[in-house]
């Protein structure tokens, strides 16, 4: 089963991160399959999923991967790109926003990261108002508390 190889890769590569290691080591076979059977996919306006370890979960690695994908797009389509990033009060929202900001900054993209909680519509507004190339909002909107998400807004 392909999910087992991905699980083993995560188990080996996250050894220094105690919280993730603890979660991985204590997963049942069914939990491993659910967490690693596929990649979390973009849906309406972005990614949304249960927080936890795995490719089918919201975590710092998935946020980093999504941010790198958006950064690649921005670099391809904009001479000088910028991104506005906001976050809500959900668990890990601020940490995910900072992870995204770090990925964009490492790619030479100007980042405007809100230092405090912001409502979702403000990032959409700020993206247009500040003439940013994109906006990112870390939120899972109406989904249950164990979820978080990564919404992407275009310049328009």
Q: How far apart are CA 136 and CA 97, in angstroms?
A: 8
Within 13 A of 106's CA, how many CA atoms are on the CB side?
A: 12
Q: How far apart are CA 92 and CA 58, in angstroms?
A: 10
Structure tokens at 121: 């519509």
Residue 106 CA, chain-centre distance (Å), reads: 16
| Torsion sign, CA atoms 106, 111, 116, 117 | negative
Active-site residue, 141 included: yes
Active-site pick, 67, 89, 124, 141: 141
Catalytic residues: 141
């Amino acid at each position: 089963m392909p999910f087992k190889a991905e699980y083993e890769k995560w188990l080996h590569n996250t050894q220094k991160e105690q919280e993730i290691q603890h979660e991985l080591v204590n997963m049942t076979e069914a939990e491993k399959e659910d967490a690693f059977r596929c990649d979390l996919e973009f849906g309406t306006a972005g990614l949304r999923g249960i927080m936890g370890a795995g490719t089918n979960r919201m975590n710092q690695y998935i946020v980093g991967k999504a941010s790198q994908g958006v950064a690649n797009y921005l670099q391809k389509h904009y001479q000088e790109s910028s991104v506005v990033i906001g976050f809500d009060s959900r668990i890990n929202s601020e940490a995910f926003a900072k992870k995204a900001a770090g990925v964009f900054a490492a790619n030479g993209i100007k980042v405007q990261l809100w230092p405090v909680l912001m409502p979702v519509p403000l990032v959409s507004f700020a993206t247009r108002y500040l003439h940013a190339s994109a906006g990112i909002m870390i939120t899972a909107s109406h989904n249950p508390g164990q979820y978080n998400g990564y919404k992407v807004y275009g310049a328009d």
